[in-house]
Amino acid sequence: MKKFLREFKDFAAKGNVLDLAVAVIIGGAFGKIVSSLVADIITPALGLIYGGRDFRTWKLSLGAAEIGIGAFLQNLLDFLIIALVIFLLVKAVAALKRPAAATPVVSAAPNKEQELLSEIRDILKSKQA
């Protein structure tokens, strides 16, 4: 049993597991923030554009069935905004991780050894031709 607990502790203490746990917790909180942005700011603004109506309550009646088209639109809008924000966040992190553009290295004049090797190469090429 002690071996099992030690192995579990080693597994749980690995960086990837801790990173994943932090990401899940932050992602949940981030999702709430974006959902609030959509539900409390963007949706009412869109409602004003459409004559003050709250489109979350839009329903489509087909006989006895009611289809909650407004709730679907709300969830679609939530998804699109979350996807956009995550895309921009990933691009920003990638830009930070990119190494700075390397300045071109100006090669110094060849040393004597390099000059001799170049001459030998040129002689061998001329003999093959």
Residue 129: the pLDDT is: 67
The pLDDT, as a whole number, for residue 36 is 85
Dihedral, CA of residue 25, residue 31, residue 36 and residue 38, to nearest 10: 170
Could you give the C-alpha distances from 110 to 48, 120, 124, in angstroms and in order?
73, 14, 20
pLDDT in tens, 5-60: 888 877 777 767 777 888 888 888 888 887 888 778 887 887 788 776 677 788 88
Quick one: pLDDT band at residue 103, thresholds 50, 70, 90?
low
Ordered domains of the chain (ranges, CATH): 2-98 (1.10.1200.120)
Q: Are 85 and 54 in contact (CB under 8 A)?
A: no
